[in-house]
Structure 1
């Protein structure tokens, strides 16, 4: 299992715009359409990655806990579906249903969105404030498949709380670790 870290782009970076299809609703959305009043969490993920499968239930819980507080949640899959057909849009819809994902799960067919965000792995987390400036990028928590550390979502939850409740956040942030994005 490959262990690829996030690219830690500079805090304050403005969220790149996109316009891609949601596999849950079959509508096409932009960042602007989906952002939250308090901020927006963009997650690069896919269906088959063991790192995503390890954390998907916590991601759904975070979504359920924070969307009601004004946080927009967006998941994006950018993997090459020719080489990795298990990440096809049809199977993304099935994956969302199976895991009770009721936030948009977008398919980045051209991989331009992943490149614009400098996404490197799945899962890769980007938290933007209500001005679309990057507030946090990094890991969910220290848990990884097989390392015995319980899943908690601590790092990401602390960042979201700091954003929503206007608290300061440590600028030293740990990168996420996961499978590399499957580039064409």
Structure 2
């Protein structure tokens, strides 16, 4: 089912969490907040929207990380029902697309519920205080690789890193619904 993300609730405080990646390494959100902020994104392996943006997502997040902006990805789908989203497949999907960020398993789906995540991809851009400043889309290219795309997420996170606030104009992300238990 196709869904759009809600509008940004500016200033909403990010709930802390600890999740493990597919190799069993634990990551705590508050440890990654950082002085330039944190991007938390809810993605999965099987969603056609995530597949369509995966290469651009890898490039934009690599640039953000090089600029000192931290990035975590969370996979909250019920992978017992959707095998393509299993931890084993998360490893191969991340390798295939060159993801350099931690890709975490939300086994009990509590993090997605705490954050109000509705679809994949769903982007949450936080400032250094853990206040939500961005809840938009990756870019304006949608499902195509457009050479002259507007990298909205990249620009928003750079703005958040520079001044602690995100853009007032944001376009909702669009994607597949999270597969709840």
TM-score by length of 1: 0.90
The verdict on how the C-alpha distance between 1:173 and 1:4 changes in structure 2, with shifts beyond 3 A counting, is same
**Partner residue of 1:157?**
154
Cα offset, 1:144, TM superposition: 2.3
Structure 2 CA distance for partners of 1:153 and 1:17, relative to 1, 3 Å: farther
The equivalent residue for 2:169 is 172
- Note the C-alpha offset of 1:153: 5.2
Unpaired runs of at least 5, structure 2: none
Q: What is the aligned length? A: 180
**Paired residue for 2:68?**
70
Q: CA–CA distance in 1 between the matches of 2:150 and 2:125?
A: 14
* Deviation readout 1:29-83 (Å, 9 max, x if unpaired): 1101223330000010000101001111111111211112211100000001121
One of 28, 37, 41 as aligned partner of 2:35: 37
1:130 is matched with 128
CA gap of 1:42–1:123, structure 2 versus 1, over 3 A, is same
Q: What corresponds to 1:87 in structure 2? A: 85
Q: Which residue of 1 aligns with 2:15?
A: 16
User: How does the TM-score come out when normalised to structure 2?
Assistant: 0.92
Consecutive unaligned residues of structure 1, counting only runs of 5 or more, are: none
Contact 1:7 1:118 in 2 (8 A): no
- CA drift of 1:111 comes to 0.4
Structure 1 residue 26: deviation in Å? 2.3
Once residues 137 and 58 of structure 1 are traced to their aligned partners in structure 2, the CA distance between those partners, rounded to angstroms, is: 18
Shift of 1:160: 1.4
Runs of 4+ in structure 1 deviating by more than 4 angstroms, as ranges, are none
Cα pair 2:20 2:26 within 8 Å, conserved? yes
